[in-house]
Chain A
């Protein structure tokens, strides 16, 4: 008995070490960026030989802030459109009275299966002929195109956990279709809705391929600017920007995890 317990303990220690190694493997490339951004040299070096904030100053002074603002505008627009459409689509797909729910679901998920480059080329050609290339609405639509399938996936799985008889109950108690969805169904899928917003935002914020094809100077997003600058020189400014992005992402997800955690404790 004792031997068994000892074995278990040894095994769990090994497991912890294994997990740590995997985490390190995944995180190290990202974590290396952070100290590099505080380097004082003209080029990227690790470990940095001197410390300074000069690249952060360079970041704030340059065009980078415009790019950041563009990225945020486009991501926000993408959230509004993709979460709106995706949530409605998920409610429709999950409706038991909907006849072709499964087929519609697959059609909606198609953009996720296509290589982004193909979507980007297609967008470039179509937007070119419509003469809307480089405008904010065009980029928001393009990003929504790849964000909608993600929202649908998350919302349909969220809705699967909701007992749809609650919808029937709400209707029988006098709620209209809209009221039943807003007052009963949506509050019950709040975690999925929250994640959808988050992932839609990050999808757009992260997106570089489509942006390379269809943004212009005035609407260039941060990833596009990074890409462009990398073509000519590898400036440590990029590591400063990356550090900023990492910090923002970590904060958002940490806040999400924290909120969910407190919610669970309350209920």
Chain B
């Protein structure tokens, strides 16, 4: 089955892409770039760099810009899927949805309307086991944004490794955050994945942080040999 993977650039969508590649044919990455950083449906930090991830994975990219306004986001998603279906003959869509019924419901409805299958391989996954697998399989995911206490500025750009996971587990116990950031507590960006032929090297960043909210904006990056 030819599939398109909805990709925000974060760990969940890239990991879901890896799962899909093991079972089916991934024909393209699909990304919706919201202008609004408070997007309800799409994750925002560094989404413009998904093009580098697509190149690293050797996959074509379907990218649609969206104003990022609540219900219109669904129309933008529909437009992106229509383009992917026409251009790459996809029969289904893969997402990295973990717990969000809001996100899953909207993607499921659009896929159904367009006659596309919809797969969510991380749906209600064991979050700790998933993060361990992400680390073990060699995904290099960094924290691209923090949006809640107790994350301080030192988290911006930090790689999710065993030490970070231990800290996240402690935060989950003490501050009731979700381990995977599913509650919007943090966002990630993937620099390397097992199926990338090259990795992303960050050359310049512009981090911003204030009062438990921060973004690790990557202003210049390029692909380098692994």
Do the two chains bind?
A: no
